[in-house]
Structure 1
Amino acid sequence: MIVFITFWVLIIFTLIRQDIRTISWQDWLLDIVGLLFQGLVIPILQITVVYQGYKMLFSEWENSINLGSSLAFILSFVLIDYLYYWNHRLLHTPWLWPLHQVHHTMTQRNVFGTSRNTLWTSFFILYLWVHSLFIYLLADPTGYILGVSLTSALDLWRHSEIEPKPNSFITRFLSPWLILPLDHAWHHSNNSTIGNYGANLKIWDRVHGTYFFHDLPPIHLGIKTKLTLIQKFFFLSFSNFYL
């Protein structure tokens, strides 16, 4: 429910604030297919193929971990966030960058481009595998699922330009610890080596020296590629990007 409400609120604000007619039909197609794939296909795979796979492999471990809702939430929102930090950094290495570079072709900050990726990229993001595993292992996964939902909602938000004013109380409260849309905008600048790899928390970037701050958004977003639309969908080329 959190993700559903966040998605539609951000869609409405995006339509009000931005001239979406400037988005090319190819980018529209990438974004809509990406949202459907990540929002429908991946969850279905998680609760069917992946979950059932764990059930077959580790049948005696089902509901075997009793953490309580609070600790399960921390596991999801904090500890898995740290694993994602490294997962994301790996996607920026030369070996996995071809899988991830399509996501960095976004030239506008809006919710539509949140899931812009090749169709195979989700299989290299730990969420597909780890969330199913812990939902299978936990005796009560309610807190864990709440953390997953909040992480997904924040993912939609940080790809948008909907953010509190720079000197507002909300910004002063959230900025020290939470990745905000402005932070993630710099990750999506036309310099793809800028850090800010975390999803929820800034502490991981700060601890590992990859945090970048600027009080204004970047002038230019997105990298340019020579990939065709088919290559962007199906990852059929290791073509290098150029700035």
Structure 2
Amino acid sequence: MAEMDLAAKPVLVALVLATLVMLEMLAPMFRFYDAVKPRLRHDAANILLGVLNAAIASVLFTGLVLSVTTWAVGHSFGLLNWLTLNPYLELLIALLLFDCWQYCWHRLNHAIPFLWRFHAVHHSDAAMDASSALRFHSVEIIFSSALRLLVLPIIGLSVEQLLIYELIALPIILIHHSNVAVPATLDRLLRVIIVTPHVHWVHHSHLQNETDSNYASVLSIWDRVFASFCLRDDPQKIRFGLGDRFDQTRWDQFIGQLKQPFNSALYEQRESSLKK
């Protein structure tokens, strides 16, 4: 099963991404480009970074994840391995706990200046679309994957449960980053349960109080529980990115994305506000 799910992940991402790109062309919520070429350059850089990160995670961490989850099951270590539950209830609890961890990790990336430098690569995209869901700095991916090696055995998550979570989460994350004009009524219904475009667009606003909200990856409940939920009455007026300091032609390029965290001048204002 694990091997099949591992093979399914890139196929699923490619199919969902291709579908969303077509929908973005047919019914965009925002118009960032007047020509096809700039859009292609933007998406190509984001996708290339996503491919690099997938390769890093696969080479460095796939075997380690399998090892720690197998060890936890074999030694009856971790919350889920201490409980005797119906398999379906256990899966539900596993998905809830891991999604809550994703919320906590995301929020830490906004609160700790050192982590924010790398996470800001994701937020500096001023032309947000489905490809933006793949735009994460490789150092952030390494930190996130390394911490998983501690979190997974503490929860007692099996590798199958982790893969099920990822197969559910990946399409939702791609969708809520997409530049598709989702009907307001449909978005309102869906966001009772999951993170939707109208919710996540606010998270990518250039205004810091809005950037520091809506951290959830899959279930919108976490932002409601931890009082970080925020909506805009006029989502079509949201300005994406991190402001004028991030020159898009430079920092949107693949190499620019990798270099961005090491340019201290870009982060002075944000880091001073985080330290207060």
Contact 2:20 2:175 in 1 (8 A): no
Correspondence for 2:21: 14
Superposition deviation, residue 32 in structure 1: 2.1
Listed as ranges, the gaps of 5+ residues in structure 1 are none
Q: 1:215 to 1:23 in 2, by over 3 A?
A: same
Match status 1:110 vs 2:142? no
Listed as ranges, the gaps of 5+ residues in structure 2 are 1-7, 26-34, 271-276
Contact 1:7 1:153 in 2 (8 A): no
1:79-90 to structure 2, matched below 5 A, reads 79-90=97-108
Name the SS for the 2:17 alignment partner: helix
Correspondence for 1:178: 194
Aligned pair partner of 2:115 in 96, 108, 113? 96
* TM-score, normalised relative to structure 1: 0.78
1:72-221 to structure 2, matched below 5 A, reads 72-93=90-111, 94-125=113-144, 129-130=148-149, 133=152, 141-162=159-180, 164-168=182-186, 171-194=187-210, 195-217=213-235, 218-221=237-240
RMSD: 3.5
Match status 1:233 vs 2:258? yes
Superposition deviation, residue 37 in structure 1: 2.6
Correspondence for 1:47: 62
Contact 1:74 1:147 in 2 (8 A): no
Correspondence for 1:4: 11
What is the alpha-carbon distance in structure 1 between the residues aligned to residue 203 and residue 64 of structure 2? 33
Percent of aligned pairs sharing the same letter? 21
* TM-score, normalised relative to structure 2: 0.70
| Matched residue count | 236
Q: Which has the higher helix share?
A: 2
Superposition deviation, residue 88 in structure 1: 0.9
Q: Which deviates more from structure 2 when the two are superposed, residues 232-241 or residues 186-195?
A: 232-241
The aligned amino acid for 2:120 is: Q
Name the SS for the 1:87 alignment partner: helix
What is the alpha-carbon distance in structure 2 between the residues aligned to residue 141 and residue 51 of structure 1? 6
Superposition deviation, residue 24 in structure 1: 7.4
Superposition deviation, residue 178 in structure 1: 1.4
